[in-house]
Structure formats: C-alpha cells, structure tokens
Amino acid sequence: MARHRKPDTDDLDCPLRESSFFDTPRSDRDLPVDTMYISTASAVDRESVAASVQARRGGAHRRQSRNRPGGRALVLSVATGALLAAGTSASHASTGSVSVPVELDQQPLAPLEQALASAPEILQVPKLAELGRLAEQLARGTERDTDRASREAAARQPLTMAPVSGTLTSNYGPRWGSTHYGLDIANEIGTPIVSVTDGTVLESGPASGFGLWVRILQDDGTIGVFGHINETLVTAGQKVRAGELIATVGNRGQSTGPHLHYEVWQADGQKVDPMAWLDARGVQIQPPAVSD
C-alpha cells in the first residue's frame, strides 16, 4: 500500500506565491484563489480558468518531481491568458463606434447678391485737379480724332488737279451777249496741260471752233473738255491719271490769244460751272482781277 507524503508547498499548483496575492489587501486574501482569478478575468473566460484550476487539483495526489516547474508555469499561463482576454474584451468594448444622431440647425446661406447689397459702399471721389486733366485729355483726343477723320475723308476723295497753271482771264457766265461755258486760263504756247482726274480719253483731235481738243471721261462721270490746244499727247480709249500730261497750251480755233479753254459737261450734256466744280473738289482757281 503506497504511502502518501505530505505535499511540499513547492509542489502545490497554486499561484499564491507567483501572483500578487500577498500584495493585496487582507479582505482580498480571504477570497479563494479561483474567485480572485475569475474576478479579474472577463465573463467569457471564467469557465476556462475554473476548468484549468480544477484539472490541476485532480492530479495533485500523484507524485511530483521537486524540480519540475510545470505547475507554476501552467497557472501563470492561465492567469496571463485570462488577463489578456479581459484586456482584449475591454479594448473591443472601448473601440466600438456608436452612431449618435445629431441634429444641427441648418441655416440657409444668404445669396451673394444679398451679401453684396448689405456691404457698405465706398465711393472714390476724384480730386478736382484730376478731373481737369481728364477733361483736357478728352478734348485733345477728340481733336485728334477729328483731324484723322478729315484726313481719311480727303484720302478717300478722288484726287483732283488744276488743268493748267496761268492767269484766269474769263469765267463761266454771260459774255458779249452770249454765255461763256468754260474757264479761260492764259499762258504761253507749249505750257503743259494735265488731266484733272483719273479717267478715260473719249476723243483727241480736231474740233470745230476749238481747233484741236481732248475730251476725257472723268472719275465722277462728268466729261472734261480741253480746247484751243496746240498739240494732243493722248489717244482715244487711253487711261489717264490725275496730273498726267495730255496736251499743251495753244492758240488754235476761234481764239484771241494762247490759253486753255476748260469746260465740264454732265453725262446728259448739260454744261456746269467749272470753277464751282473744282472748288467742290478742293481746287482753288483765282478769279481775274477787275480793273478800274
């Protein structure tokens, strides 16, 4: 019959010495070991801790080796697992998110126009000196614009030249009981005669009463007549430019001296005042001097 020796305290699989049992208040020491472990563990791990402790108690009658530390390690591992499980449960409980509906008082945003209308308005009032300079600049700008417009209008207007240089001896109008339909400009024979405008030569050669003449269809549809010429330098159908040489001053036909007789006919044959026509196109011809 086997004798049972009194177990040594080192063989007891109880975590009394390895745990913080002796560091706890006396009220906690009186509690059973199982109760202390279970109180520190979570509810989920209480059964596992109790089962582990009961299993260790059931095998306490077997002979244990004095140098075997397995019992203590097992109790420590069980306690550590319980503590870790409790911490994990607490961690899961603390990190869980809970949706709490919060009602915020939503205030509609004021429109931009409303905000701008309510903002204070700051007016910049220019100084009188600045207003004076501004008015002066505007006046100069207006003057420049007017001058430029005049130049552009003049550039668009067809170029018109005086037909010949010399002295105006007779004007358009009544003369010696009849009507004189042209301008008489006296000069020496051979003085150049030029086309008054751009145009086309209609006729160049002999003419009754004029001796020789040149007729040119001018740029506005009128016909320029150049009579009493000495010689013609153009032919019918020729294109001419304003200021281009077309003939020379002569004394042919019914003439009282070397001069150019210049007339302006409208398309229907009506004869108009050449001086008024030239003046309207910017060409000034001085009237003859009146003697006492």
How confident is the model at residue 82, as a pLDDT? Answer: 57
Per-residue pLDDT at 81 exceeds 70: no
- pLDDT tens per residue, range 155-189: 776 689 999 999 999 999 888 778 899 999 999 99
How confident is the model at residue 93, as a pLDDT? Answer: 46
> 3-state SS of the chain: helix, strand, coil percent to 5?
35, 20, 45
- Contact in structure between 263 and 224 (CB atoms under 8 Å): yes
User: Higher-confidence residue: 120 or 250?
Assistant: 250
The C-alpha atoms of residue 184 and residue 174 are separated, in whole angstroms, by 13
Per-residue pLDDT at 229 exceeds 50: yes
47-68: average pLDDT: 52
The C-alpha atoms of residue 204 and residue 4 are separated, in whole angstroms, by 167
- Contact in structure between 166 and 184 (CB atoms under 8 Å): no
- Which of 236-250, 258-272, 277-291 has the weakest average pLDDT? 277-291
- pLDDT tens per residue, range 128-159: 677 778 888 889 899 999 888 888 876 776 68
Domains and CATH numbers, the chain: 9-60+70-86 (no CATH), 167-280 (2.70.70.10)
Confidence grade of residue 112 (pLDDT, cut at 50, 70, 90): low
- Contact in structure between 231 and 247 (CB atoms under 8 Å): yes
The C-alpha atoms of residue 37 and residue 19 are separated, in whole angstroms, by 10
Confidence grade of residue 278 (pLDDT, cut at 50, 70, 90): very high
265-287: average pLDDT: 91
The C-alpha atoms of residue 78 and residue 287 are separated, in whole angstroms, by 140
